[in-house]
Amino acid sequence: MTIPAVNLKPALQATEAAWRARLDELFHRMQFILGEQLASFEREFAAALGSRFAIGAGSGTSAIELSLRHAGIVRSNQEVLTTPLTAPFTGIGILGAGASIRFADIDPDTLLLDPAKAAARITKRTAALLPVHLYGQPCPLDQFSRLAKDAGAELLQDACQAHGARYRGRPLTAYSRYVAYSFYPTKNLGCLGDGGAVATNSATVDRGLRLLRDGGRRNDQLSRIAGANSRLDEMQCCYLRAFLPKLEEWNAWRARIAALYDDLLRDCPGVRLLKRWPCSVHHLYVIRVKRRERLRAHLAAQGIGTGAHYPVPLHLHPAFAGSGARRGDLPEAERAAREVLSLPLWPYLPPRDAIRVAETIRSFFAP
């Protein structure tokens, strides 16, 4: 029997009545851009997050780029400090805004951006800090808030893997004006295409991002600023509105599977578990292993899918050569990139399948 790394079918089946009803509404209204489905989803998503506003965008990358543009961080002499262990789209959003990207190393236990190492990389050119809530685990936002304040820099959050997460019991928007989300299909809250949003408590940010995302227009044909074309479309909102009421339940399912993996792999030779805290929403279950590619082949031979998030740290991508970081400059991220392995994790994954995955890993490392 095959165990895929991700399986969207059970979630689609569990919500079919809801998304079909939303699609019927959409085709009745026949407004496919900036319509009622988006307006309703933005209200519902903001409420679920505990924020005042949510502004839909075309992707998580666009959500980052639009946030930086609204914050005025658009010049090459303005640097955005972030983690090298993330999807390249974090960096693409920074470059898309016109800013420069800089990296600090990670905490080897959590794989999150290390606040102390970030503090050591801050310069007079640092215009923003952009911690990434990797694998669904929030970064220590209290520390990053202080760092940003002391540096006179903007704090933005990449929460593209952290739908529903809070930090120390507070909404993520309590810590900064811009929290970017992605609705890529495999996210905790995903659509069936590309999509994104920015959550904020600021009415000024809300108004500004709505202007930016629609070409600088206000429901007319006059571009007041050089905006973008980055709108979350109505059809994707039909799915998102159907999935959103299930988010808490689905996150709880992920947490149970993650806890099961912890119990089964905690003392496994060759496996290093990541340190997590209770506020994680477990977007991915990632372990660190030696001989990763051989282990992946062993698992694949047993019909078990896996992933590597992420096999090349961003400072070693040609696209980010301008960061100034070279091989060896960020050793923890480089080491982690060689070792990270993502195990199957999705809502409705049967516990027996997680047990089989763990047993197969243990058999690989058995003497």
Please, is 216 exposed, middle or buried when counting C-beta atoms within 10 Å of its C-beta (0-12, 13-18, 19+)?
A: middle
Strands (E), the chain: 53-57, 79-82, 100-103, 126-130, 154-158, 166-167, 170-171, 178-182, 196-200, 271-273, 285-289, 340-343
Are 260 and 354 a contacting pair, CB within 8 Å? Answer: yes
Q: Where do the structural domains in the chain lie, given as residue ranges?
A: 9-245, 247-365
pTM equals 0.97
User: Which two tokens mark 64?
Assistant: 């980052």
Are 84 and 103 a contacting pair, CB within 8 Å? Answer: yes
- What distance in Å separates the CA atoms of residue 79 and residue 153, rounded to the nearest whole number? 10
Are 101 and 322 a contacting pair, CB within 8 Å? Answer: yes
Exposure letters 256-275 (e unless 16+ CB within 10 A, then b): ebbebbeebbeebebbebbe
Distances in Å between the Cα of 347 and the Cα atoms of 101, 246, 250, 251 are 35, 10, 5, 8
The per-residue pLDDT string of the chain (367 residues; one tens digit each, 9 = 90 and over) reads 799 999 999 999 999 999 999 999 999 999 999 999 999 999 999 999 999 999 999 999 999 999 999 999 999 999 999 999 999 999 999 999 999 999 999 999 999 999 999 999 999 999 999 999 999 999 999 999 999 999 999 999 999 999 999 999 999 999 999 999 999 999 999 999 999 999 999 999 999 999 999 999 999 999 999 999 999 999 999 999 999 999 999 999 999 999 999 999 999 999 999 999 999 999 999 999 999 999 999 999 999 999 999 999 999 999 999 999 999 999 999 999 999 999 999 999 999 999 999 999 999 999 7
- What distance in Å separates the CA atoms of residue 136 and residue 319, rounded to the nearest whole number? 25
Domain at 9-245: CATH code: 3.40.640.10
pLDDT at 367: 78
User: Which two tokens mark 233?
Assistant: 């479309």
Distances in Å between the Cα of 157 and the Cα atoms of 11, 24, 54, 273, 287 are 27, 35, 14, 25, 24
User: Which two tokens mark 185?
Assistant: 């299909």
**DSSP secondary structure of 274-305:** PP--TT---S-EEEEESSHHHHHHHHHHTTB-
In 3D, which of 212, 245, 237 has the Cα closest to residue 42?
237
- What distance in Å separates the CA atoms of residue 68 and residue 289, rounded to the nearest whole number? 36
**DSSP secondary structure of 128-171:** EEE-B-GGG----HHHHHHHHHHHT-EEEEE-TT-TT-EETTEE
- What distance in Å separates the CA atoms of residue 21 and residue 35, rounded to the nearest whole number? 16
pLDDT at 1: 74
CATH of 247-365, one of 1.10.240.10, 3.90.25.10, 3.90.1150.10, 3.40.50.2300: 3.90.1150.10
**DSSP secondary structure of 98-109:** T-EEEE--B-TT
Pairing of strands 285-289, 340-343: antiparallel
Measured in degrees and rounded to the nearest 5, phi and psi for residue 21 equal -65, -40
